[in-house]
């Protein structure tokens, strides 16, 4: 009996530690489970909530309509801002003198660029201007020479009309000591004939209308002195109708007066009276009132 008891104890001895070991392992497992249950809220509260990541569009996938419209609006707004910035004048903080210098520099640069681009056109304009200037200089020179020549001839004709009658004696006057420089003709007819010839030459050959008008006026006076009243009237009428008579009241008045005395010499009293009436109505600028 004693041996059996020992065997039972000896047989049950090895199994008892295993049972205890399983029990200890179960308790530890329950404790770790409780620890995990107790600390799980702290872990959840400590970690931030995860955000949902947007899916990236694949390279070949079409762009959403809403995003595409927003992108187009942003691009249009950027282009408008760029244009406005280009149009807006730059703000200058320069003094008045510096602004003027800057404007002159810009203008000079712009003029230089324009000349470079249009040099051929400018060159032709310059050549044409030089040719025109040379032509005008030649014309003016010749016109002045012609006017001087006509004036000299007209002076000679006037001197012939006012010439002396008698021998050509240029000795000084015994009392005054003055030397007579006027030409001398043997008779009054010779004087008038010489003056008529010179006046006709100027009136027919002169290209200067002023000199020709004065020559015709002198010719009419000589013709009247010769008794050629009809020819004198025609010459006076030509002077009255000239351009010089519209500009010079004295010339017009002399022409109208010559017409009147020529009509009177021809015996046309009514025509002479009419001419004298027109003469009395001429104002200071040579026009009939």
User: Would you write out the chain's pLDDT as a tens digit for each of its 289 residues?
Assistant: 444 444 444 444 444 444 444 444 454 445 444 444 444 444 444 455 554 554 554 555 555 677 777 877 778 877 777 766 666 555 556 577 777 877 888 888 888 888 888 888 888 888 899 999 999 899 888 878 877 888 888 888 888 888 888 877 777 777 877 877 788 888 989 999 999 999 998 888 765 678 889 999 999 999 999 999 999 999 999 999 988 888 888 899 999 999 999 999 999 999 999 998 888 877 544 444 4
Q: How many domains does the chain have?
A: 1
**Which CATH number belongs to the domain containing residue 161 in this structure?**
1.25.40.10
Q: How far apart are CA 195 and CA 165, in angstroms?
A: 13
Task: Say if residues 160 and 191 touch (Cβ distance below 8 Å).
Answer: yes
Hey, is 202 helix, strand or coil?
Answer: helix
pTM value is 0.51
Burial per residue of 243-253, b for 16 or more beta-carbon CB atoms within 10 angstroms, e otherwise: ebbeebeebbb
Residue 98: predicted pLDDT? 74
Q: Which helix (H) or strand (E) holds 274?
A: helix 269-280
Q: Which domain range does residue 236 map to? A: 145-169+180-280
78 in a structural domain? no
13 in a structural domain? no
């Amino acid at each position: 009996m004693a041996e059996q008891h020992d065997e039972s104890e000896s047989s049950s001895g090895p199994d008892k530690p295993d049972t205890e070991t399983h029990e200890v392992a179960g308790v530890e497992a329950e404790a770790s489970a409780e620890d995990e249950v107790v600390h799980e809220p702290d872990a959840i509260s400590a970690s931030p909530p995860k955000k949902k990541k947007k899916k990236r569009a694949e390279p070949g996938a079409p762009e959403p309509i809403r995003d595409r419209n927003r992108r187009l609006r942003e691009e249009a707004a950027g282009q408008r801002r760029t244009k406005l910035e280009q149009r807006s004048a730059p703000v200058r903080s320069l003094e008045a003198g510096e602004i003027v210098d800057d404007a002159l520099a810009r203008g000079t640069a712009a003029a230089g660029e324009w000349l470079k681009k249009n040099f051929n056109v400018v060159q032709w304009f310059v050549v044409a201007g030089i040719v025109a200037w040379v032509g005008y200089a030649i014309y003016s020179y010749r016109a002045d020479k012609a006017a001087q020549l006509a004036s000299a001839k007209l002076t000679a004709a006037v001197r012939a009309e006012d010439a002396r009658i008698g021998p050509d004696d240029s000795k000084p006057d015994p009392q005054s000591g003055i030397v007579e420089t006027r030409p001398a003709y043997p008779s009054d007819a010779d004087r008038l004939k010489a003056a008529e010839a010179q006046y006709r030459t100027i009136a027919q050959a002169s290209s200067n209308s002023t000199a020709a008008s004065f020559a015709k006026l002198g010719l009419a006076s000589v013709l009247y002195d010769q008794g050629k009243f009809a020819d004198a009237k025609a010459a006076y009428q030509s002077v009255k109708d000239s351009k010089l008579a519209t500009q010079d009241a004295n010339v017009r008045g002399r022409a109208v007066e010559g017409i009147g005395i020529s009509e009177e010499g021809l015996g046309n009293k009514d025509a002479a009276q009419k001419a004298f009436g027109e003469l009395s109505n001429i104002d200071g600028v040579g026009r009939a009132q």
